[in-house]
């Protein structure tokens, strides 16, 4: 009997773009409120010692969220849970969800307790340059923050459930409540208490916001997973999650070590470097989250379902990867050019108020310009990693994350601490070396991920022709925007940003559409239909 030919691979479903748009919308709203939070912090604390203490303190318990939270659960839990749902094994999916919740809750409770007790030791590791009152304030802030970050880890479990059920908007918009709680605490007490006390109050606002972020997601989770019962079940599927969890946990741990070394290096620079680094990170992680995270989060359940099929796995995942990389590049390349050429305009519009001065905006610009080096690589790397997670391979991204962090840490120390002396500039500008080093290391990681995926499935996601068009169009838009900035002269930061960035956006969209970039033409078509 003649064997029936396998059907040709189907292109990535349009639903992926819709899901990515939902994730992006939720992230955009939460990031807008995050920027508002950072602006209010900058207004009341500027780049003072209290701002440094809050920024460093914010990072330490954040380690808990990143180690056990969204990234690790996306790599280990979502592929298994989504595959069970795709096969119609809802009872087993429910048991896996309950077991993951139980194990995660136990681990987080222990880590929070140990973290609170070990805070002084953690401060010495992360911010060794802090002394006296600055160090004591950081310890207070961290001890307040730790329980709240534990709640955020459980919120990430909710995100895993909701994403697997293709409910993308709620889990990504929920952090709005977390930001609102911090903003409210600052507005209620700002100007009424000393800077140090205000920083501690903001930490308590973070704990309240963490609880709200978890509680707003739970009703829908319980509706989707009817009869959910936390248990310490150790079925084969739970063990699969556990086996994937460990490498993903170590991978996130490696990345976090790199982030904390960056903070340590910044703490050795003059006052304001740590707070400026946090402000810059708020900005340059925005396109990474909006486009890298949204597309990767939407495609992960789809790629996991594709990986469960026996036919043309490489073609299916490769098609999703290429489409996702094009969408990422269309939005991220202009973001990198804006940070490089117009970062002062962005920083001034968002942060320049109260204690945050024009010189501070220029300082943050330097860090943003450094981040532009690796922005595309950092964002695209998320999608490459998601392809490996869909294949239940968390070890390969772990190995390459370790390489990235090792290279990034060494480069950051050299560029930040030695670079200013070599260039004959003030030591504070060494902070830009931290973001440059991270960018270089991100390109190395993405290159390794791409090569490994090509070797395994024959997938090559390079888009050389498209990338050249996008870079040229972004450079043209930057020239037009810079001209608008010069013509405008001295004006209010908001007005300057509206005109300059608006000019950039219009020119970039027009240029890419004229160059035949499909994403630009599709965007213009959607705008026309909306009108």
Per residue in 343-383, pLDDT (tens digit) is 999 999 888 877 788 888 999 999 999 999 999 998 898 88
Label residue 159 by pLDDT band (50, 70, 90).
confident
121: in domain: yes
Task: Count other C-beta atoms under 10 Å from residue 367's C-beta.
Answer: 28
Q: Which has more pLDDT, 266 or 2?
A: 266
Tell me, yes or no, whether 447 and 514 share the same domain.
no
Render pLDDT for 270-279 as a digit per residue (tens, 0 to 9).
Answer: 878 888 888 8
In terms of residue numbers, what domain contains 162?
Answer: 15-462
Query: Which of 462, 495, 514 is a domain's end point?
Result: 462
CA angle 365–369–373, rounded 5-degree value: 160
Tell me, yes or no, whether 396 and 481 share the same domain.
no
Kindly tell me if the per-residue pLDDT of 340 is higher than 90. yes
Label residue 464 by pLDDT band (50, 70, 90).
low
Tell me, yes or no, whether 240 and 327 share the same domain.
yes
- For 14, list phi and psi in degrees, rounded to 5: -60, -25
In the chain, how many domains are there?
2
Label residue 168 by pLDDT band (50, 70, 90).
confident
With DSSP H G I counted as helix, E B as strand and the rest as coil, what are the percentages for the chain, rounded to 5?
85, 0, 15
189: in domain: yes
Tell me, yes or no, whether 499 and 457 share the same domain.
no
Query: Which of 462, 479, 496 is a domain's end point?
Result: 462
Least confident of 89-103, 262-276, 299-313: 299-313
**pLDDT value for 6:** 36
Label residue 281 by pLDDT band (50, 70, 90).
confident
Kindly tell me if the per-residue pLDDT of 10 is higher than 60. no
Tell me, yes or no, whether 374 and 504 share the same domain.
no
Tell me, yes or no, whether 487 and 436 share the same domain.
no
Tell me, yes or no, whether 304 and 452 share the same domain.
yes
**pLDDT value for 64:** 66
Label residue 11 by pLDDT band (50, 70, 90).
very low
7: in domain: no
DSSP class per residue in 358-413? HHHHHHHHHHHHHHGGGHHHHHHHHHHHHHHHHTT--HHHHHHHHHHHHHHHHHHH
Label residue 314 by pLDDT band (50, 70, 90).
low
Tell me, yes or no, whether 490 and 355 share the same domain.
no
Tell me, yes or no, whether 36 and 155 share the same domain.
yes
Kindly tell me if the per-residue pLDDT of 448 is higher than 70. yes
Q: What percent of the chain has pLDDT over 90?
A: 28
4: in domain: no
Tell me, yes or no, whether 514 and 398 share the same domain.
no
Q: Which has more pLDDT, 197 or 47?
A: 197
Label residue 9 by pLDDT band (50, 70, 90).
very low
263: in domain: yes
307: in domain: yes
Tell me, yes or no, whether 424 and 484 share the same domain.
no
Tell me, yes or no, whether 102 and 128 share the same domain.
yes
- For 252, list phi and psi in degrees, rounded to 5: -65, -35
335: in domain: yes
Render pLDDT for 466-507 as a digit per residue (tens, 0 to 9).
Answer: 899 999 999 999 999 999 999 887 778 888 999 999 999 999
Q: Which has more pLDDT, 219 or 77?
A: 219
Kindly tell me if the per-residue pLDDT of 508 is higher than 90. yes
d(CA 316, CA 312): 6
Query: Which of 412, 445, 462 is a domain's end point?
Result: 462
419: in domain: yes
Least confident of 27-36, 118-127, 522-531: 522-531
């Amino acid at each position: 009997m003649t064997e029936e030919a396998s059907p040709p691979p189907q292109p990535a479903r349009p639903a992926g773009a819709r899901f990515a748009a939902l994730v992006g919308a939720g992230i955009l709203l939460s990031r807008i409120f995050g920027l508002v939070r950072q602006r209010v912090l900058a207004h009341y604390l500027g780049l003072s010692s209290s701002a440094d203490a809050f920024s460093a303190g914010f990072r330490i318990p954040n380690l808990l969220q990143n180690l056990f939270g969204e990234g690790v659960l996306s790599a280990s839990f979502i592929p298994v849970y989504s595959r069970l749902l795709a096969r119609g094994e809802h009872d087993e999916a429910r048991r896996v969800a309950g077991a993951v919740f139980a194990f995660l809750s136990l681990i987080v409770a222990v880590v929070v307790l140990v973290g609170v007790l070990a805070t002084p030791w953690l401060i010495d590791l992360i911010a060794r340059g802090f002394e006296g009152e600055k160090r004591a304030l950081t310890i207070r802030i961290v001890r307040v923050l730790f329980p709240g970050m534990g709640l955020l880890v459980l919120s990430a479990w909710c995100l895993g459930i909701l994403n697997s059920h293709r409910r993308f908007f709620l889990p990504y918009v929920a952090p709005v409540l977390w930001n609102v709680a911090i903003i409210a605490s600052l507005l209620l007490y700002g100007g009424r208490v000393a800077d140090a006390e205000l920083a501690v109050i903001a930490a308590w606002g973070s704990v309240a916001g963490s609880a709200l972020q978890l509680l707003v997601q739970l009703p829908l989770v319980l509706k989707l997973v009817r009869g959910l019962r936390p248990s310490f079940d150790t079925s084969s599927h739970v063990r699969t999650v556990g086996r994937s969890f460990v490498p993903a946990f170590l991978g996130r741990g490696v990345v976090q070590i790199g982030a904390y070394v960056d903070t340590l290096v910044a703490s050795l620079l003059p006052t304001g470097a740590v707070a400026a680094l946090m402000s810059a990170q708020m900005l340059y992680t925005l396109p990474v989250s909006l486009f890298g995270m949204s597309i990767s989060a939407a495609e992960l359940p789809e790629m996991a379902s594709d990986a469960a099929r026996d036919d043309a796995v490489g073609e299916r995942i490769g098609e999703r990867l290429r489409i996702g990389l094009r969408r990422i590049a269309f939005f991220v390349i202009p973001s990198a050019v804006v940070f490089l050429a117009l970062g002062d305009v962005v920083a001034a519009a968002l942060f320049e108020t109260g204690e945050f001065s024009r010189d501070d905006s220029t300082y943050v610009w330097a860090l943003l310009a450094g981040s532009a080096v690796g922005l595309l690589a950092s964002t695209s790397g998320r999608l490459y990693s998601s392809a490996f997670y869909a294949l239940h391979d968390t070890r390969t991204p772990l190995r390459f994350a370790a390489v990235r962090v090792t290279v990034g840490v060494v480069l950051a120390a050299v560029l930040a601490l030695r670079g200013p002396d070599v260039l004959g500039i003030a030591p504070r500008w060494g902070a830009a070396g931290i973001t440059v080093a991270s960018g270089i290391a991100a390109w190395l990681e993405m290159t390794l991920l791409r090569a490994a995926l090509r070797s395994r499935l024959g997938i090559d996601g390079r888009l050389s022709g498209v990338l050249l068009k996008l870079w040229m169009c972004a450079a043209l838009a930057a020239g037009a925007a810079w001209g608008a900035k010069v013509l405008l002269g001295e004006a209010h930061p908001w007005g300057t940003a509206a005109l300059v960035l608006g000019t950039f956006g219009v020119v970039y969209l027009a240029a890419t559409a004229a160059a035949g970039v499909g994403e630009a033409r599709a965007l213009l078509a959607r705008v026309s239909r909306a009108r």
